[in-house]
Amino acid sequence: MCSKYISTLTIAGSDSCGGAGLQADIKTMSALGCYACSVVTAVTAQDTTGVRCVVDMSADLVERQLRAVMCDICPSAIKTGMLGDADVVAAIADTLSSFPRVPLVVDPIIAATSGDSLMRQGTLQMLVDRLIPLASLLTPNLPEAETLAGMNIRSTGDIHMAARHILDMGCQAVLIKGGHADGKTKTDWLFTQTGMVKSFSAQTITTSNTHGTGCTLSAAITAYLARGLDLVCAVDKGKRYLSQAIKAGAEVTTGHGHGPLNHFFHPQKLIIQP
């Protein structure tokens, strides 16, 4: 019997400065012992201060990339990141629906850390209609959760209400990330279709190096799901990995804006399964 690596797949945009997007996903998945595959949805010209240009890949090219990976390597878990074009979202949903289901983490990236928009008109509705119903887990930050739920979030009660609206879109679970909230701790809230509610808190780390935090967390959760952990454990370990990566890179200067995390603070070797 042949052994194999634990494989993961990121379907995301390229970040030319390497801190977010598929680069952050690949670094994270690799650091957690997984063999990371990628499907490029867009190419950005960006640095730590902002996004200069975005060019979306054609839906046909995205579909061809995705089918190539799915037919050959069959990843154990998949995540999506930047999906700027509605036709690309439709192509991904159609393609994934034609293969056996594996855990799918959807990170609904609407804007970059710098505030630059990364989603074209009509794409969000396509995401809601076609891709979110396929998701094992949706991972919006607070602004993204507000957009998806169509409401302001100012309290814990608002988070619970927003989660109910989002779960009604068909995803199996939603993790509303609290990184944009003020305070000495950051708390993420996990809600599932079965009614489970669980919070995950971590101490706030004072640093401007926050480029790619959302990508990193969703990629870490994807890696842990691929490794066979259940959802709660995957989220818990993913959040711990994120906090350690932020802390390890907090005092390092890379660029002139929001710098990246230290994804390789304690890298693991590729895990080989018998």
177 is catalytic: yes
Could you tell me the residue range of the domain that residue 24 belongs to?
Answer: 9-273
Question: From the candidates 79, 177, 186, 239, which is the catalytic residue?
Answer: 177
Domain of 194, CATH number, reads 3.40.1190.20
Distance CA 34, CA 270 (A): 6
**Apex 81 CA angle, 59 and 224, nearest 5:** 125
In a domain, 62, yes or no: yes
Reported confidence tier of residue 110, pLDDT bands at 50, 70, 90: confident
Distance, CA of 106 to chain centre: 6
End-to-end CA distance of the chain: 7
Alpha-carbon dihedral sign for residues 113, 162, 78, 246: positive
Residue for token pair 């801190």: 19
Distance CA 149, CA 141 (A): 12
pLDDT 10s digits, 214-272: 999 999 999 999 999 999 999 999 999 999 999 999 999 999 999 999 999 999 999 99
- In this prediction, residues 110-127 reach a mean pLDDT of 78
In a domain, 4, yes or no: no
Question: DSSP class of residue 137?
Answer: E
Q: What is the number of domains present in the chain?
A: 1
27 is catalytic: no
> Above 90 in pLDDT, residue 118?
no
Question: From the candidates 213, 216, 222, 254, which is the catalytic residue?
Answer: 213
Question: DSSP class of residue 129?
Answer: I
| Residues near 172 by beta carbon (within 8 Å), at least 6 away in sequence | 135, 136, 137, 192, 193
> Above 80 in pLDDT, residue 111?
no
In a domain, 72, yes or no: yes
pLDDT 10s digits, 126-174: 999 999 999 999 999 999 999 999 999 999 999 999 999 999 999 999 9
Question: From the candidates 81, 214, 238, 249, which is the catalytic residue?
Answer: 214
- Per DSSP, helices labelled H in the chain are 21-31, 59-72, 86-97, 123-126, 142-149, 156-167, 213-226, 231-249
Burial, 157: exposed, middle or buried (Cβ in 10 Å; 0-12, 13-18, 19+)? exposed
71 is catalytic: no
171 is catalytic: no
Question: From the candidates 192, 210, 216, 222, which is the catalytic residue?
Answer: 210
- In three-state secondary structure terms, 39 is strand
Beta partners for 35? 7
DSSP result, 171-223: -SEEEEB-TTS-SSEEEEEEEETTS-EEEEEEE----S--BTHHHHHHHHHHH
In a domain, 238, yes or no: yes
Reported confidence tier of residue 117, pLDDT bands at 50, 70, 90: low
213 is catalytic: yes
In a domain, 3, yes or no: no
Percent over 70 (pLDDT), the chain: 96
In a domain, 169, yes or no: yes
Question: From the candidates 33, 212, 238, 249, which is the catalytic residue?
Answer: 212
212 is catalytic: yes
